[in-house]
A and B are shown apart, each in its own frame.
Chain A
Amino acid sequence: MAIDFGYNIHRDRQIDYDSLSRDLLEKVQKAEPSIKACISCGTCAATCSAAQFTDFSLRKLILLTRRGYTKDMNNMVHKCMLCGKCQIICPMGVNTRNLVLTLQHFTDTI
C-alpha cells in the first residue's frame, strides 16, 4: 500500500531547447530588461492577489517564458489583476507590471 507522504515523485523532465524556442524570451528581454534580474524567489507568487483564486503567479510566468513554454504562458498571462503587489515587494526591482503587460502584448499579437 502506498503511503501518503504529502508529496510524490515528479516525472523526469527535460527542457529541450531544440523543440522549444527562446525567441519570445529574447523579445521580452528587449522590451522589459528587468526580467533578467528575476531570481525566481517566489515572493511575487506569495503575495499575488490572483493566485488566491487560481493557478497563476508571476514566477511561473517568467519560468515558462524562460524555458520556452510559450503556449502555457499564453494561457495563463491574462489572469493577472495587475494590482502591483508583486512590484512593490520584488527584492530585485523587476518592473513586474510592465513585464506582464509586455507578455500580454506578445500573446495578443501572435
Chain B
Amino acid sequence: MSKFDWFVMPFTLGLAFLVIVLLVKYYNWIKQLPLSEKFKVKKGVFTLKSVKATWEVFMECLLHRKIFRVNPLLGYMHTSLAFGWFLLIAVGNLESRVFYEGHMSPPYIPIFFRFFNPHPTDFHYERGFSFVMDLILVIVLSGVALAWIKRMYSKMFGMKKTTQLQWGDKLALSALWFIFPLRFLAESFTSAFYGGGSFLTANAGHIIGNLFPTMNLSYPLWWAYSTALGLFFVALPFSRYMHIPTEILLIFLKNYGVKEKKHLTSFSKVEISTCSRCGICIDTCQLASSANIKGVQSVYKLQNIRYGITNNEQTLNCLMCGRCDNVCPVGIDIKNIRQSNRYSEALKFPNKKPIFNYIPNIYTSKTEVLYFAGCMTHLQPGIKKSMVKILDTANVSYKFMDEDKSICCGRPLMLSGKKQQALEMVEKNKNIIIESGAKILVTSCPICYKVFKEEYDLSVEVLHHSEYLLRLAEEKRIELSRLNLRATYHDPCELGRGSGIYEQPRKLLNKTLKLTQIKSEKDNALCCGGSLANLKISMQDRQKISADTIKTLTAQNPDAIITSCPLCKKTFSQKADVQVLDIAEIVAKSLVINEPIKKQIKETAKETVIEEV
C-alpha cells in the first residue's frame, strides 16, 4: 500500500504556498501594530481572553452565528461549507490516525484517504467512518448547491444585491465550487471499482459501476480534485477568501482589546482583509436602497483600500451613518477606517500655513455650565430659545458660548479629511472652554458632541442636551407636565451609533409623553439624509433618503417626530407632513414654570468678549 502518488502534488504545493504566505502576512501585521496595541496583545495572550477568543472563533468562523441572524438560509450556507469542511478535515484526520494506528502521515493522506485506502476490509471502523464522512459530504454539497443558487437568485437569501467580483475572487470561487463535487465524483468512481464508501458514495458508485463495469475512471478525477484544492489555496491570499484565515487573527486581536486608531494601522489592514465581501452592507446602505447610488458601499471601499486604489467618489460619497458597521458579520470598524482613509487622502495636499488665524480670541466670563449651540442649532432658533428657557427656569449658572459669533467645532472639516485645518479651530474653541472654567459643557448638536468627546481631550464633562436635561429633570431642578402627544423618536446617527446614547433621550421623553415604537430604531435607526459626512450626494438624492426615512418614522401616524439633532430636524421638516420637534423644544413645552424667569439671555451675551485681531 503506497502512501504517495503524483496527483497529490497540486494540493501539497498549493497548501505549502498558502501556509508560507499566511505566515509572512501574519508576522508583518503583528510586527507593524502600533506599540500600545502590541502591548495589549502581549498582556492578553496568556489569559482567559485567549480561551474566549477560541470559543468565538468556533462560533463565528465555523458556525457563523451572526449570519444566521441576518438570514437563516444564508447562515446555513456558510455553516455547512465552513463547519462541514472543518469536520471533513478533522474526521478525515481522525480516520487516518486510527487507520495508521497513530502514526503521523503527510497532510494529504486524510484528504485523499479513499484513494490510498479505497476499501480497507481489514479496517475495523470502516463502515462507521465512511458513513460519517458521507454524511458530512452531503451537508457540504448542500452548501455548495445553495451557493450556486445564491449566485443566480440572491433574493432568496434575503439579499437584494450581491457584490461584483474581481478576477482573483472568480478564480477562487470557481475552484471552491468544484472542490466538493469533484471529491464526491472521485470517491464515487473509486467506490464503483473497488467497493467501499457509505450511503452516498457507495450508491453513486453502484450506478457508475453499472455504466462502466470494467474501467477504473477515478484517477483523473483525483487529479482534478487535487488541482481544484491547490488552485483555491494559491488564489486564496489574493481573493476575498483571505477573510477565512484573517478572521481568526482578527477575533484574537479584538479579544486582546486592539482597536482602530485615528489613522490606518496594520490592524486596519487585518480588518480590511477580514472583509469577505459578502455584500450584507450593500442592502443596509441607504444610498443604495433609497437613492440607488451604487459602487460606493463599504464592501467596495474596503476592497479598494486593500488593493491601494483611490476613488474620490467612493471616499466622499458616504453618509458615515454607521449602519454598515452595525450589520457587518465580521464586525469591521468600517466608519473609523473610512475616516482614517479620508485623513490620508487629504494629507496629499497638506496646508502650508495656518488659515484660521483670522478668528479672534474670544473669552467668556467664568461660569459653571457652558452651553455650545453649534452651527446647525443656529439655523434652528427654536432649539436655542428652548434651551435658554429651560436653563433659566432651572436657575443654572451658565454662559452661552457661541451666542454671538460661533466658531465651528471642527468636525465637518475632519469629515472632509482636513484634520490639520480642523485642529486649528479645535484649539480656538478649546481655549474658550478652558478659560471659562466651566465644569460641564452642554451642546445641542450631536456632531459637535462627538468631536468634543473624542478629539478635544477636555477635562470638562461633555454632555449632549438630552443627557443634561434628563439630569436636570432627575435632580428635580425642572418639573415636566404631561403632554397629550403621540410621537416617535428618531435616533440621530452621531448620537446613537456614533456616541451610544439611546436611552437618555427616551427616558427624558417618557417623562412627558408616550413614544410609539418603530421598526428601525436605536442601533438600527435610519439616517435622515442630511449627513455632513457625505460631500458628493446631490440635494435630490438627499431628499429621497429623507422621504424614505420619514415614511418609516410616520408608519404609525404619530403627531410628531422628535429628534435630538438640529440637522435631522432641519432635514425632516423640509419633507415631513407632521411636525418635527427637537427634544429641547418638547421639554420647554412641557416645562412647569413656578416663578418668573430671572435672567434674560441678552445679559449673558454681553459678557462675551471678542478680541479683534
Q: What residues make up the interface of A, taking CB atoms closer than 8 Å to B?
A: 34, 47, 49-50, 52-54, 78-79, 81-85, 88-89, 93-95, 97-98, 101, 105, 108-109
Contact status A53-B405, CB under 8 Å: yes
Query: Are the C-beta atoms of B407 and A88 separated by less than 8 Å?
Result: no
User: Do B416 and A97 touch across chains, with their CB atoms under 8 A apart?
Assistant: yes
Hey, which chain B residues are within 8 Å of A98, CB to CB? 316, 535-536
> Is there an interface contact between B535 and A101, defined as CB atoms closer than 8 Å?
yes
How distant is the Cα of A95 from the Cα of B538 in the complex, in angstroms?
6
- In the bound complex, what is the Cα–Cα distance between A93 and B355 (angstroms)? 28
User: Is A97 a contact partner of B567 (Cβ separation < 8 A)?
Assistant: no
A54 to B610, CA, bound (A): 14
Distance from B403 Cβ to chain A, minimum over Cβ atoms (Å): 12
A94 to B535 alpha-carbon distance, docked (Å)? 11
For window 532-561 of B, CB contacts with A under 8 Å fall at 532, 535-540
Smallest Cβ distance from B229 to chain A, in angstroms? 49
B421 neighbours in A (Cβ, 8 Å): 78
For B574, give the chain A residue with the smallest CB separation: A88
Q: Are B538 and A101 in contact (CB under 8 A)?
A: no
Known: A85-B378, A89-B379. A79 touches B408 (CB 8 A): no
Contacts of B351 in A (CB 8 A): 78
B537: which A residues are within 8 A, CB to CB?
Answer: 95
Apart from A50-B358, A88-B379, A97-B416, list 6 A-B contacts with CB within 8 A: A53-B359, A53-B405, A82-B408, A82-B416, A88-B571, A97-B532
Given contacts A79-B358, A95-B539, contact A52 B405 (CB under 8 A): yes
> Which of A34, A53, A83, A97 counts the most chain B CB atoms within 10 A?
A83
Instruction: Tell whether B413 is near chain A: CB-to-CB under 8 Å.
Output: yes
Q: Which residues of A contact B349 (CB under 8 A)?
A: 105, 108-109
Complex Cα distance A94/B2, Å? 76
A-B contacts, 21 of them at CB < 8 A, read: A47-B378, A47-B379, A50-B358, A52-B406, A79-B355, A82-B408, A82-B418, A83-B408, A84-B412, A85-B375, A85-B376, A85-B378, A88-B570, A93-B539, A94-B539, A95-B536, A95-B539, A97-B412, A97-B535, A98-B316, A101-B416
Contact between A84 and B406 (Cβ–Cβ < 8 Å)? no
| Smallest Cβ-Cβ distance to B418: which chain A residue | A82
Nearest-neighbor residue (CB-CB) of A94 within chain B:
B539
Of residues 412 through 433 on chain B, the ones whose CB sits less than 8 Å from some CB of chain A are 412-413, 416, 418, 421, 425
Among B360, B375, B376, B425, the one with the most A-chain Cβ atoms within 10 Å of its Cβ is B375
Contact present for A53 and B570 (CB under 8 Å): no
User: Quick one: closest A residue to B414, CB to CB?
Assistant: A82
Contact A49 B538 (CB under 8 A): no
Q: Which residues of A contact B418 (CB under 8 A)?
A: 82
Contact indicator B530/A49 (Cβ below 8 Å): no
Residue of A with least CB distance to B566: A88
Q: Contact at A81–B408, with CB atoms within 8 Å?
A: yes
Majority secondary structure, B binding face: loop
On whether the beta carbons of B379 and A85 are closer than 8 Å, the reply is yes
Which residues, 336 to 378 on B, are CB-close (under 8 Å) to A? 349, 351, 355-356, 358-360, 375-376, 378
Q: Which residues of B contact A89 (CB under 8 A)?
A: 379
Give the complex CA separation of A89 and B379 in angstroms: 8
Question: Would you call A88 and B376 a contact (CB within 8 A)?
Answer: yes
Would you give the shortest CB distance from A55 to chain B, in whole angstroms?
Answer: 9
Docked complex Cα distance between A34 and B541 (Å): 13
Nearest 9 interchain pairs by C-beta? A93-B539, A54-B358, A83-B408, A81-B408, A108-B349, A83-B375, A98-B535, A82-B412, A52-B405
Most chain B beta-carbon neighbours within 10 Å: one of A50, A79, A82, A89: A82
Least Cβ distance of A61 to chain B in Å? 14
Complex CA distance for A3 and B418, rounded to whole angstroms: 48
Report how far A67 CA is from B133 CA in the complex, Å: 77
Q: Is A78 in contact with B355, judged by CB distance below 8 angstroms? A: yes
The interface residues of chain A lying within 8 Å CB-to-CB of B359 are 53-54
- Which of chain B's residues have a CB closer than 8 A to the CB of A53? 358-360, 405
A93 to B530, CA, bound (A): 12
Output the least CB separation between A19 and chain B (Å).
28
Which residue of A has the minimal Cβ distance to B571?
A: A88
- Nearest-neighbour CB distance to chain A for B565, whole angstroms, equals 12
Complex: A34 Cα to B316 Cα, angstroms: 16
Identify the interface centre among A34, A54, A88, A108: most chain B CB within 10 Å of its CB.
A88
A88-B530 contact, Cβ under 8 Å, with A47-B379, A109-B349: yes
**Distance between Cα atoms of A52 and B592 in the complex (Å):** 37
Chain A residues with CB under 8 Å of B412's CB are 81-84, 97
Min C-beta distance of A63 to chain B, whole Å = 20
On whether A49 and B416 interact (CB within 8 A), knowing A85-B379, A89-B379, the answer reads no
Chain B residues within an 8 Å CB radius of A88: 376, 379, 530, 567, 570-571
CA distance A109 to B358 in the complex (A): 24
Beta-carbon contact of A49 and B375 below 8 Å: yes
Closest Cβ–Cβ distance, residue A64 to chain B (whole Å): 17
Q: Which residues of A contact B532 (CB under 8 A)?
A: 84, 97
- A36–B522 alpha-carbon span in the complex (Å): 39
What is the minimal beta-carbon distance from A105 to any residue of chain B, in angstroms?
Answer: 7
Contact check, A81 vs B425: say whether CB atoms are below 8 A apart.
yes
Measured CB to CB, the closest approach of chain A to B189, in angstroms, equals 62
**How far, in angstroms, from A95 to B416 measured CA to CA in the complex?**
14
Contacts of A52 in B (CB 8 A): 405-406
From A49, A78, A84, A93, B540 is in contact (CB under 8 Å) with A93
A85 to chain B, nearest CB (A): 5
How many angstroms from the CA of A83 to the CA of B410 in the assembled complex? 8
**In-complex Cβ contact of B538 among A79, A93, A109 (8 A):** A93
A12–B537 Cα distance when bound, in Å, is: 40
List B contacts of A84 (CB < 8 A).
375-376, 412, 532
Interface core residue of B351, B421, B535, B538 (most chain A CB under 10 Å) = B535
Please, which residue of chain A has its CB at the minimum distance from the CB of B411? A83
